[in-house]
Chains A and B, each alone.
Chain A
Amino acid sequence: EVQLVESGGGLVQSGGSLRLSCEVSGFTVESHWMHWVRQAPGKGLVWVSLIKTDGTTTAYADSVKGRFTISRDNAKSTLYLQMNNLRVEDTAVYYCARDFYSCLDVWGQGTTVTVSS
């Protein structure tokens, strides 16, 4: 069964850091582009970042560029999102998702990040 399980969310003060993890099963993490998408409380979905199959090509939304870093560990079948210099506006549920022709066809259950001032 194809599955994504996020972890690593929590409460952090403004300016702090968190590392989110997304463990995949049922496929290999390096075989697909992978994304992070977030959803602030009561708001819509916002694309955050992606990593391509080569593992070195990455992209970020302007709002997180320079603060967030996406990476993966093929041996651990895990996708990561390192989040530094967190801001109150980064508060959201963070989802990892698998890409299939720019369609996010499999999603995790999400992990909640709360940034306090």
Chain B
Amino acid sequence: QSALTQPPSASGSPGQSVAISCTGTSSDVGAYNYVSWYQQHLGKAPKVIISEVSKRPSGVPDRFSGSKSGNTASLTVSGLQPEDEAVYYCSSHAGSTHVVFGGGTKLTVL
């Protein structure tokens, strides 16, 4: 049940784009198109922003997009806004262990 690997931090200025990676293995990210991304503001519960690699739930701005190549998934935030400053977590279906999360990436809007 090893966690997925994310960079601990990322940053960008308002209006810029930033990408956050999420690296797993051929048993989780590489095996299933069930990668999700969550946004968590300080003191709040996580909120899903991407499901099934690249699907945006209703109400999530189209500035958020997801993709996957092999064992690595990515979240791209385009046109950074101050309110995007948060911690972002990826997760993947992982077979018998069901769900595994990444360690989280703190996104700072400069």
Q: Is the interface of A mostly helix, strand, loop or mixed?
A: strand
CB neighbours (8 Å) of B92 from chain A are 102
Q: Assess whether A103 is in contact with B36, with CB atoms less than 8 Å apart.
A: yes
Answer whether residue B51 sits at the interface, using C-beta atoms and an 8 A cutoff. yes
CB neighbours (8 Å) of B103 from chain A are 44
Selecting from B41-49, B69-77, B78-86, the interface stretch reads: B41-49
Q: Assess whether A105 is in contact with B51, with CB atoms less than 8 Å apart.
A: yes
CB neighbours (8 Å) of A107 from chain B are 45-47
Interface size on B, residues (CB 8 A): 28
Answer whether residue B89 sits at the interface, using C-beta atoms and an 8 A cutoff. yes
Q: Assess whether B96 is in contact with A59, with CB atoms less than 8 Å apart.
A: yes
CB neighbours (8 Å) of B96 from chain A are 59
Interface size on A, residues (CB 8 A): 21
Q: Assess whether B46 is in contact with A59, with CB atoms less than 8 Å apart.
A: no
* Beyond known contacts A35-B99, A102-B92: 18 more, CB 8 A cutoff: A44-B103, A45-B46, A45-B91, A46-B101, A47-B1, A47-B98, A47-B101, A50-B99, A59-B96, A61-B97, A95-B45, A100-B51, A101-B34, A101-B52, A102-B99, A104-B38, A104-B91, A107-B46
Residue numbers of B with Cβ under 8 A of A are: 1, 3, 32, 34, 36, 38, 40, 45-48, 51-52, 57, 87, 89, 91-93, 96-104
A to B CB contacts below 8 Å, 17 in the list: A35-B99, A37-B101, A44-B87, A45-B38, A45-B46, A47-B97, A47-B100, A50-B99, A59-B96, A59-B97, A59-B98, A101-B34, A102-B91, A102-B99, A103-B48, A103-B52, A104-B91
Residue numbers of A with Cβ under 8 A of B are: 35, 37, 44-47, 50, 59, 61-62, 95, 100-105, 107-110
